[in-house]
């Protein structure tokens, strides 16, 4: 889970846990996410498009290129934060608005594969 908003990260962790998804780590920046990914080797990552030290889209491309190929879902409160082409180029499985996270789509995206 990568998002610079502490309150949203807490909400997202509760939501993911309620969907029976285990959250192995949280980061507030691209740099912290890179370090955590190497250490934790997550199966999936929820990544905010707008991060304080870089692009979540670029981070998604880095994560999906890792040897274990984690599934990445990009998120933002802005519906226009990522185009379908950007999501595809980054190797992410989808882009969701933050208000769409509770509808079950996220769990299905993380479990598919």
Instruction: Average the pLDDT over 1-14 and give the result.
Output: 94
Tell me whether residue 1 is in a domain: no
Segments forming the whole domain that contains residue 60: 6-111
Model pLDDT for residues 69-93, shown as the tens digit of each residue: 999 999 999 999 999 999 999 999 9
Instruction: Average the pLDDT over 38-42 and give the result.
Output: 96
Model pLDDT for residues 18-32, shown as the tens digit of each residue: 888 899 999 999 999
Tell me whether residue 105 is in a domain: yes
Contact 48, 56 (CB under 8 A): yes
Pairing between strand 94-97 and 71-76?
parallel
Q: Domain containing 84 — which CATH number?
A: 3.40.50.2300
Ramachandran sector of residue 20 (left: φ over 0; alpha: ψ -120 to 50; beta: rest): left
Model pLDDT for residues 45-68, shown as the tens digit of each residue: 999 999 999 999 999 999 999 999
Tell me whether residue 67 is in a domain: yes
């Amino acid at each position: 889970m990568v998002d610079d908003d502490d309150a949203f990260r807490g909400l997202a962790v509760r939501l993911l846990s309620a969907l029976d998804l285990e959250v192995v780590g949280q980061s507030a920046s691209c740099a912290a996410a890179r370090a955590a990914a190497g250490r934790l080797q997550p199966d999936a990552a929820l990544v905010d498009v707008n991060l304080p030290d870089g692009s979540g889209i670029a981070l998604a491309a880095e994560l999906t290129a890792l040897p274990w190929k984690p599934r990445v879902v990009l998120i933002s409160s802005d519906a226009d934060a990522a185009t379908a082409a950007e999501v595809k180029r980054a190797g992410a499985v989808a882009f969701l608005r933050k208000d769409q996270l509770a509808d079950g789509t996220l769990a299905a995206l993380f479990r598919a594969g």
